[in-house]
Chain A
């Protein structure tokens, strides 16, 4: 059909709609256009913009066969209480068919404090597992073969320390570092912008990150050295376009820092990975995944002149949107997660964590986690969504939306370039303010009824308080402190002292890669708090400034 013919048909259709909407007005707050046709994508060049899976610009996916080769990694984020307790949960997940591990650490661990630090009081073991030293890490991975499993660790400011602990546990298991597979989040920029577990100021933080890139490219080559995360930016309230734009801007900043430190783009870019949110609007999310791959491929090729295909591939882990879970009628969350899973899969994710129904209330119970994992398995094996690669390609709407999100992302990236890059944009509070404004708009839309959340502002019922929630006992903190004291009494404290002194010297010399020094300190059972304490002394701490 020619475009003229389509246009004539569309005009006729629009005329008929005018009559229909006079009688039955459409729902407000919907996207501008009610219908998409070939005219909406007439300028999209298939070969250049959409292309083929495993080929530039990777709109249709990063691997040539996608889920026909193998499914995404079903990776459930877990960790709470003590290392022994979390080890049990990990082994339960592996027995239930999870294909990768994902470690959640408690807040003191994420911010580089030991469990016995006064500031840790009340937080030990609460949102993740407490890790104070190599001794805890040994227990966390007890009877789990690090040569076989791939492990993702949500750790940022002290990522170098936790990665060193993982390498040291592997050494004890007899697994060489070059066999280790996994990911550290290691994305400090989004901590300043959205997630809040920063320690050091941006400059030394960027140095730690590039030190890790360099060290791993030589010693831990299968490790994903960073997971550049939009997830938390979205959770903090951003839109879909802002999520990918701010994250890719962060990615650009990491590449620039690494290049400035003397690395070549193709030596580290292939180990960069990303982390997206799977939110409620299914088709918008699918378009977001597709657009993000295209933007990143172009950034790598055109801006950084990468040559290796791997450097241009946006490989992504996904988590369903925690902020979209409701405390009201929590079983409804199972349905939300199923739809978000469908979006992530049709978007072509490489791995996925599905949230549990009770997470707006507490950490999930084993039963809830099982339902969340089964959701992935049902989508994989029963739904047919994973049978054909990029099944929504060619949909007038999804292609047009992919183009629109890409365009909006480029506009933000340009704006951030003008401000001086992601680091400057964060220091000036620009990114934070954009996210806050979107979060406030969302809340006001929910409160005005412009946005409906089932069970929250519509279809509410009287409910009994939920039963059987998981509770982390306050005694966990006491037990963990006792364990730490016992470990400190047993270790060679002279070796610890000298390793920490050596690390301090290395911190003061900007040209020194800190990784070998941190690994040495970890091997002596120096604690996370001691190691980060040395770095705090030299690097100082970041102070946030908030503009409401």
Chain B
């Protein structure tokens, strides 16, 4: 089977990328191909990068509170581009109460502070198409 390709992305203006970088490295160490977008990506840029890089997974991180706005926007753009099979996950400082709406919008899972990176690896392995 071809290597799973993951785009780790930082949507919005948030500069906190410790988590995104740690996760990116842990995913790489787990055997995935990882592309990290760097900071300050618009939803359009993320969707375009996902398409260009032909990824199986988009993993987004936000700590600024802009997730209710930005996560669904990325999902919609990916769907518009026909990337229906891409597994989309999110993480960051995200209150429990926001998670149901994010899942409804198409985020497969939301990983909050304290999550071991192994949980993310396992989730991707179990759910990637």
Contacts and interface: CB of A to CB of B under 8 A. Distances in A.
Given A123-B12, A443-B117, A474 B69 contact: yes
Interface stretch (B53-61, B78-86, B89-97, B101-109): B89-97
Contacts of A440: 21-22, 25-26
A324 B119 CA distance: 20
Contact of B13 (A111, A361, A469): A111
Nearest to B24: A548
B66 interface: yes
Interface string B13-48: 111111001101110100000101011101000000
Contact of B95 (A197, A237, A362): A362
A361 B38 contact: no
Contacts of B114: 326-328, 453, 456
Interface string A167-187: 000000000000000000000
A236 interface: yes
A453 B36 CA distance: 28
A307 interface: no
A196 interface: yes
Contacts of B112: 327
A421 B33 CA distance: 34
A121 B69 contact: yes
Contacts of A347: none
Given A361-B93, A469-B97, 4 more contacts: A127-B65, A443-B117, A453-B114, A472-B65
A472 B114 CA distance: 24
A257 interface: no
Nearest to A122: B69
A107 B18 contact: no
Interface in A424-482: 436, 439-440, 443, 446-447, 453, 456-457, 465-466, 469, 471-472, 474
A453 B114 CA distance: 9
Contact of A469 (B34, B95, B118): B95
A110 B14 CA distance: 10
Interface residues of A, number: 46
Contacts of A121: 69
A108 B64 CA distance: 11
A321 to B, nearest CB: 12
Nearest to B22: A443
A383 B93 CA distance: 33
A316 B100 CA distance: 43
A122 B95 contact: no
Interface of B: 12-18, 21-22, 24-26, 28, 34, 36, 38-40, 42, 64-66, 68-70, 93, 95-97, 112-114, 116-118
Most A-side CB within 10 Å, residue of B13, B16, B39, B68: B13
Most B-side CB within 10 Å, residue of A110, A191, A361: A361
Contacts of B39: 196, 544
B58 to A, nearest CB: 17
A108 B12 CA distance: 10
A108 B13 contact: yes
Contacts of A197: 13, 15
27 contacts: A107-B66, A110-B13, A111-B40, A113-B13, A119-B13, A119-B42, A122-B68, A123-B14, A126-B64, A127-B65, A191-B15, A196-B40, A197-B15, A235-B16, A323-B18, A327-B113, A361-B93, A362-B95, A440-B21, A447-B117, A453-B114, A465-B97, A469-B95, A472-B65, A545-B38, A548-B24, A548-B34
Most A-side CB within 10 Å, residue of B18, B26, B93: B18
A465 B15 contact: no
A197 B14 CA distance: 8
A8 interface: no
A22 interface: no
A264 interface: no
A548 B25 contact: yes
Contacts of A113: 13
A546 B40 CA distance: 13
A122 B42 CA distance: 12
Given A121-B69, A126-B65, A327-B113, A196 B96 contact: no
A195 interface: yes
A362 B66 CA distance: 12
A235 B93 CA distance: 15
Interface in A475-511: none
Given A439-B22, A472-B65, A474-B69, A361 B95 contact: yes
A548 B13 contact: no
B75 to A, nearest CB: 14
B47 to A, nearest CB: 16
B95 A548 contact: no
Nearest to A464: B96
Contacts of A360: 93, 113
Nearest to B119: A447
A107 B117 contact: no
Ranked nearest first, the 6 interchain pairs of A and B with the lowest CB-CB distance are: A196-B15, A122-B69, A465-B96, A107-B13, A122-B66, A126-B65
Contacts of B117: 443, 447
A439 B14 contact: no
Contacts of A111: 13, 40
Interface string A340-382: 0000000000000000000011110000000000000000000
Given A107-B64, A111-B13, A196-B39, A122 B25 contact: no
